[in-house]
Structure 1
Amino acid sequence: GCCHLMATSRSVSNISISIKATSPRCSTFFKKNLLPILTVLSIFLGVALGLTLRHTSHERWNEREVMYVGYFGELYLRALKGMIIPLIVSSITASIGKLDLGLSKKIGLRAVSYYIATTVIAVIMGIVLVTSIHPGTGSEKGSLKMGGKSEVYTPDILMDLPRNIFPSNIIQAAFETYKTSMIPPDMEVNSTHIAYLIKKYNLTEEDLPPVYEWSIKGGYVRSTNIMGLLVFAAALGVALSKLGEKGKPLLDVFQAFSDASMVITGWIIWLSPIGILSLIASMMVKISDFSVMLGQVGMFVITVLLGITIHGLIVLPGIYMLLTRKLPFRFVANMGQAFMTAFATASAAATLPVTMNCLEGLNKVDPRITRFVLPIGTTINMDGTALYEAVAVIFLAQVRGLALSMGQIITVSITSTMASIGAAAIPGAGVVAMVMVLDVVGLPAEDLSLIIAVDWFVDRCRTTLNILSDSLGSGVVFELSKADLKAVNDMNENTDDQIVLKEYIAVEDLNNIHNVNEATESRAV
């Protein structure tokens, strides 16, 4: 009995010791992962709150009520978006200016090659899936809303892209983007929306004059010209690098500004749980009908999600492993906060500060890489968007009973790639880019009405894929550039040593001169 009691007391003491040993680990884990845990909880709470609010009233929620629910989310989004311009301009300028120009070219080439390759793969995958699954086959053509032509003209979109790359006023580029509009001849109206014209003048599609007879009017719309700012910042960084020592003080200012912007971003990120909860709840309240996710459009959503899943879980990690010889699991897990923010905001640009913070803080990617590569990736690397556009266009053709030729499918792939790359420079990027692809294969823009009801969900998924591609791209470029970065670091250390040596020699020379003067004076005395 005594032995049994002693054995029991030992086992109890062992359990208490193991609990004491485990509790600090749990405490450390929760402290380290507090923000991701709170963010995940906020997503579930947001869904629950939104569904609860939907069932509190039998009537549909109006815009004002939805605005109240999403108010804190709006503030969170505004804070994040407010950091986009400071981060892009300062980080691109400082990164390019502080790197050797030859190395900047190497890094830029590696990044752009990765972006183009992954985008092309995404488009091809989307085309293969949609032509294999046939989500639009067997649907009724009457389900589409028929209407007139679109006011979007593909040549104008393509020509507006270089116009925005080279803005005439860099200050204006911070809040306005150039857009070419078309005005029908002999019609004195302010609106250029063709559906409006058809309704007002009781016209048919045939009554409208050919598009080449319309007047062209250039103007600006409220939208940050990210492409123009990016090109200007890159040019400024190259110029400051060329100036050498003369440009160093201004480069230091941009570097300090970039670092300060990241500190502010860190503060904003801690507002993520509240902001994401508010955004998700307002989104759930705003949805008019969940039934559109079923049936024909549901098959379209499944096709897109299947493509996103394969590209995100197999293709991109495979490319990362192939180029870096490393497993991507920990790297991807550390990006969780960025993925959740991307899903909640549906904006790669708004997620940029969070992505940068995760890469530098958790994945230890060199800031010279992230602050150079990420802004470019956010602007031109849109794997999810390209995949979505390719699937959507062929799906809409299937719904209309049209069989696209191989030449048209190749055209879709090329145009989807171009449209996704140029999307950031176009106001209303997603819709306008999609209209551009539809126009190339001769489908009317009104067909978008079939899939626009599910775009709120698909947009969040494709944005998350865009962030994953940007993040893994930064990791790939960092691993491939490690030797080059080390060489630059060694060169800078040697330069610093030479400066210290020169200063030491200068001080020694002054001491020698002083000693000689003292000796001369003593002899004279």
Structure 2
Amino acid sequence: MRVLIGLVLGLALGALVAAGGDARLARAVEGIEAFGGLWLNALRMTVIPLIFAVLVAAIAQVSDAAATGRLALRAIGWFIVLLLAASVFSLVFVHGVLALWPVTREAAEALRAGAPHAPTGATAPDFVAWVKSLAPSNPIKAAAEDAVLPLVVFAAFTGFALTRLPPERGRPVVDIIQTLGDAMIVIVRWVLWAGPAGVFALGLGVGLRAGVSAAGVLGHYVAVASLAGLAISVVAYLLGVTVGRVPLGRWARATGPVLATAFATQSSLACLPAMIERSRDDLGVPPRIAGLVLPLAVAVFRFTSPVVNLAVAIFVAHVYGIQPSMLQWAGAVLVALAVSLGSVGLPGQVSFIVSVAPICLALGLPIELLPILLAVEVVPDIFRTLGNVAGDMAVTSILARNEEKAPEPEGA
């Protein structure tokens, strides 16, 4: 809320200066805006090392979970399939919404003019170059050039390789990398502590050059991102009823208290006790399944993450008039899947930056608007949480139904 207040004050004051036409005040605003650019760079410097660290740690965590048994391995398989389906759904749904309700050219031009820096359009690669680029010949160079997809591939190979080493050799390295990620999170928290001032400074520049039209574009973004979260929440609801074979009334009674908790807390972790209780008592999920799948889902599964994160990137692409190629969208989906698994458990503001920025970089989009969008993320975050808990309960119901059909092992 402090960041949102800083954005509103910055936009309003910048628009007032623009309306007054005083050149000295305009220069003063531009000077203050430079501090906003400094704040943005401080936030951006943590993205690449944080992505690498959280992906390696997440792969180690998933590998440990998969080693605990067949049910955990099947749950992880369902998580990956559902996240991939959700990513494809987001591309189709959000592009459809923006085709029916496009960002107006005037508003987009005003917001682009108010951005701290002009975008540097990336050239879309051909298929041969794209395939070659998946394995970085120099991971450090890839990181320096913000080549996110090759870095994700390198992090994935590193994570899996570390899990194949003897525990006494692999575990200390994973711990060091995870410590690096934790240190980056501390830095991000420091930077975000100054978020109201940083966003205020950026908002001054946006208000100076975009005027009051910036508020309309931000409202448009909130509506599109919230619609994406609401749509995938409905999909999760339907999965529980159709694939999980839970009668609609019974499903509504079980999920109602959980969704209310999600709306109030905006935290899947806070909803975990209610999810376990309602799944066990109302949906008839065996305690051993609810006790394993739901904590695992909260730990490594966010059904709405690729949907809303891709929606943010699609909206940014429409604002800047950039049309990524199909190969770039394919790469963005892979990045969205990776960061959705890796960023689970991070604080909301941290996960927004570390999840959305890599997708934008993979698409050749500027990330200068992300701090402004972060300031109005309060409403979309509600629908993120609703979809997450509905997805967690849906996949638990599906696994419980499949477990009932599976033959018991001999001697059980």
> Could you list the per-position Cα deviations for residues 25-83 of structure 1 after superposition, in whole angstroms to 9, with x for gaps in the alignment?
xxxxxxxxxxxxxxxxxxxxxxxxxxxxxxxxxxxxxxxxxxxxxxxxxxxxxxxxxxx
1:420 deviates by: 1.1
Change (3 A) 1:296 1:147: closer
1:462 aligns with 2:384: yes
- Which residue is 1:44 aligned to? none
Residues 172 and 358 (structure 1), Cα distance of their counterparts in 2 relative to 1, 3 Å cut: farther
Aligned in 2, Cα 1:426/1:452: closer, same or farther, shift over 3 Å?
closer
**Residue matched to 2:219:** 298
Aligned pairs (5 A) from 1:194-343: 220=183, 295-313=216-234, 315-343=235-263
Report the counterpart of residue 80 of structure 2 in structure 1: 116
The answer to whether structure 1 residue 394 and structure 2 residue 314 are counterparts is yes
* Residues 429-483 of structure 1 deviation map (CA, whole Å, 9 limit, x = unaligned): 2311111111111223222033112212211211110110010110110011114
Q: Partner letter of residue 395 of structure 1?
A: F
Give the count of matched residue pairs: 287
The one-letter code sitting in structure 1 at the alignment partner of 2:115 is L
Q: Distance in 2 between matches of 1:143 and 1:168?
A: 47
Match of 1:420 in 2: 340
Q: Which structure has the greater CA radius of gyration?
A: 1
Q: Structure 2 CA distance, aligned partners of 1:318 and 1:347? A: 22
Question: Quick one: which of 332, 357, 360 aligns to 1:438?
Answer: 360
1:365-380 map, 5 Å = 365-380=285-300
Matched-pair contact (CA < 8 Å) for 2:229–2:380: no
Supply the distance in 1 between the matched residues of 2:400 and 2:367 (Cα, whole angstroms): 41
Q: 1:304 and 1:424, CA in 2 relative to 1: closer, same or farther beyond 3 A? A: same
Aligned: 1:145 with 2:109: no
Q: Does the CA-based 8 Å contact 1:136-1:300 persist in structure 2?
A: no
Task: Please give the alpha-carbon distance, in whole angstroms, between the structure 2 residues aligned to 1:419 and 1:137.
Answer: 31
Q: Secondary structure at the match of 2:304?
A: helix
Shift in Å at residue 156 of structure 1?
A: 5.6
SS at match of 2:179: strand
Match of 1:168 in 2: 171
CA contact (8 A) 1:338 1:351 kept: yes
Runs of 5+ consecutive residues of structure 2 not aligned to the other structure: 1-60, 121-142, 164-169, 187-199, 204-211
Instruction: Determine the structure 2 residue equivalent to 1:347.
Output: 267
Gaps of 5+ in 1: 1-88, 98-103, 181-218, 224-287, 493-525
- The higher-RCO structure (CA 8 Å, 6+ apart) is 2
Distance 1:467 1:293, change over 3 A: farther
- Equivalent AA in structure 2 for residue 456 of structure 1: V
SS in 2 for 1:178: helix
Aligned to 2:29: none
Describe the SS at the equivalent of 1:424: coil
Percent identity between matched residues is 21
Distance 1:306 1:425, change over 3 A: closer
RMSD of aligned Cα (Å): 3.9
Match of 2:284 among 364, 384, 389: 364
- AA in 1 matched with 2:171: S
1:144 offset after TM fit, Å? 2.6
1:365 & 1:293 partners in 2: Cα distance? Answer: 48
Counterpart selection for 1:482 from 397, 404, 411: 404
Q: Contact 1:144–1:449 at 8 Å: present in 2 too? A: no
Equivalent position of 1:131 in the other structure: 95
How much does 1:491 deviate?
4.4
- How far residue 386 of structure 1 moved from its aligned partner, in angstroms, is 0.8
- Asked if the contact 1:308/1:462 (under 8 Å) is kept, the reply is yes
Partner of 2:329: 409
Contact 1:331 1:363 (8 Å CA) reproduced = yes
| Match of residue 381 from structure 1 | 301
**Corresponding position of 2:50:** none
TM-score normalised according to structure 2 size: 0.58
Do 1:382 and 1:466's aligned partners in 2 also have CA atoms closer than 8 Å? yes
Kindly tell me: are residues 129 and 350 of structure 1, through their superposed partners in 2, closer, same or farther at Cα, counting changes over 3 Å?
same
Q: Residue in 1 aligned with 2:179?
A: 178
State the alpha-carbon separation in 1 of the partners of residues 249 and 213 from structure 2. 35
Judged with a 3 Å threshold, the aligned counterparts in structure 2 of structure 1 residues 337 and 373 are, in CA distance, closer, same or farther, namely same
Query: Structure 2: how far apart are the matches of 1:412 and 1:171?
Result: 26
Conserved? CA contact 2:117–2:368, under 8 Å: yes
| Letter of the 2:228 counterpart | G
Question: Do 1:126 and 1:304's aligned partners in 2 also have CA atoms closer than 8 Å?
Answer: no
2:257 maps to a residue whose letter is Q
Q: 2:369 aligns to what SS in structure 1?
A: helix
- 2:371 alignment partner in structure 1: 449
Alpha-carbon distance change, 119 to 352 in structure 1, aligned in 2, over 3 angstroms: same
